[in-house]
Amino acid sequence: MGILCDSVTRGRLNADQIVENINKLFQGMLIRQFGVDQIKEKVRSRIASGQATDIEGWKTFLNDEIYNSEYGQTSRALVGEAMQDARANYNDQTLPLLSLLFLANSDQQNFVSAFKAVNLAKRGQSVGGDIQNVISAGKQGGLLAGLSSGFNALQNVTGAMHQVANPNLVRKEDLKNLMSYHVNFLTLLPVNLLAKHNEGIPMKGYFTTVLNNAFNKNVQNRFVEDTLFLNYNNQEEINVEQFFQDNYMHLKDDNQLRKGLVENYINNLSPTDIIKIISGE
């Protein structure tokens, strides 16, 4: 009897219903209609030219790509949140641009090719900035400042050249930052925006509670560490082709990613927890 009651209570939280609205937000974005090669060229040109520092222009570009007419207010607000997250938590304004690659239509081979091209453009743009910083530091702070900045720039230049010679390789730190950022973008970042703007499929109040808990940062970190990087813990550089052979479908099927996290959360709740969530206690 206790097992039956537990099953009935657990069945009151339906993962498909809970993720239906957030899934519809992402699936209806304009970028879903375009191939990854089209997006790659737009992203690469903006990164290579330094246009990512044009915040308003960059914001307009992102708005155009992830806009969903049924979720107009939510999708526009999501752009602002995505830009803020990249700036405040990763100090990397290019991350929202890189996230676009995962949302476009692609298969694994075309995605990897696009990712390599954009990553090399990003490394090259970063090196150009480092060299300018060296020149500026030398003028303002003298020889020692120039030498200190020059050493860091030399490391970055060497790293960029290494990646040009080995385009299959990417620094683990860079890749992990992107994965952490993108998983948050796919899951937690839009949740409260959906509740605030009340667009799309009507959501019960406790749906937001479940989504916030199922997608919290600890859950995200475990997913990144235990699923995406489980086989890469001892590496400083990662082979891009191997990494996405292991993980492309985890990231590409974002509907299933969200549903899986919600199901895992529900399965770990007690009947008492479920009753409290549904009743809003």
pLDDT grade for 143, boundaries at 50, 70 and 90: very low
**Per-residue pLDDT at 243 exceeds 90:** yes
**Per-residue pLDDT at 145 exceeds 80:** no
Instruction: Give the contacts of 75 (CB within 8 A, at least 6 positions apart).
Output: 25, 29, 63, 66, 67, 68
Domain with 188, as residue range(s), is 2-279
Question: How much is the average pLDDT of 130-146?
Answer: 45
- Contact between 70 and 24 under an 8 Å Cβ cutoff? The reply is yes
**Per-residue pLDDT at 134 exceeds 80:** no
- Contact between 271 and 10 under an 8 Å Cβ cutoff? The reply is yes
Q: pTM for the whole thing?
A: 0.85
Cα(106)–Cα(127) distance, integer angstroms = 29
The number of distinct structural domains making up the chain is 1
Q: What is the pLDDT of residue 163?
A: 52
**Per-residue pLDDT at 210 exceeds 80:** yes
What is the chain's mean pLDDT, rounded? Answer: 86
- The listed range with the strongest mean pLDDT (115-124, 161-170, 245-254) is 245-254
Instruction: Give the contacts of 214 (CB within 8 A, at least 6 positions apart).
Output: 261, 262, 264, 265, 266
Residue 213: how many CB atoms within 10 A of its CB?
Answer: 17
Cα(95)–Cα(104) distance, integer angstroms = 15
Q: What is the pLDDT of residues 148-206, one digit of tens each?
A: 545 454 445 454 455 555 778 999 999 999 999 999 999 999 999 999 999 999 999 99
Q: What is the pLDDT of residue 14?
A: 96
**Per-residue pLDDT at 135 exceeds 50:** no
Least confident of 16-20, 29-33, 161-165, 211-215: 161-165
Q: Residue 97 is encoded by which pair of tokens? A: 């641009």
Question: How much is the average pLDDT of 74-98?
Answer: 96
Least confident of 75-89, 138-152, 190-204: 138-152
Question: How much is the average pLDDT of 118-141?
Answer: 57
Residue with tokens 């657990």: 10
Q: Residue 59 is encoded by which pair of tokens? A: 């914001």
Q: Greater confidence, 48 or 80?
A: 80
Residue 192: how many CB atoms within 10 A of its CB?
Answer: 14
Measuring CA to CA, how many Å separate 186 from each of 3, 135, 235, 279?
Answer: 34, 40, 26, 27
Q: Greater confidence, 51 or 201?
A: 201
Q: Greater confidence, 37 or 53?
A: 37
Q: What is the pLDDT of residue 165?
A: 55
pLDDT grade for 63, boundaries at 50, 70 and 90: very high
Q: What is the pLDDT of residue 233?
A: 85
**Per-residue pLDDT at 230 exceeds 80:** yes
Q: Residue 215 is encoded by which pair of tokens? A: 């997608």
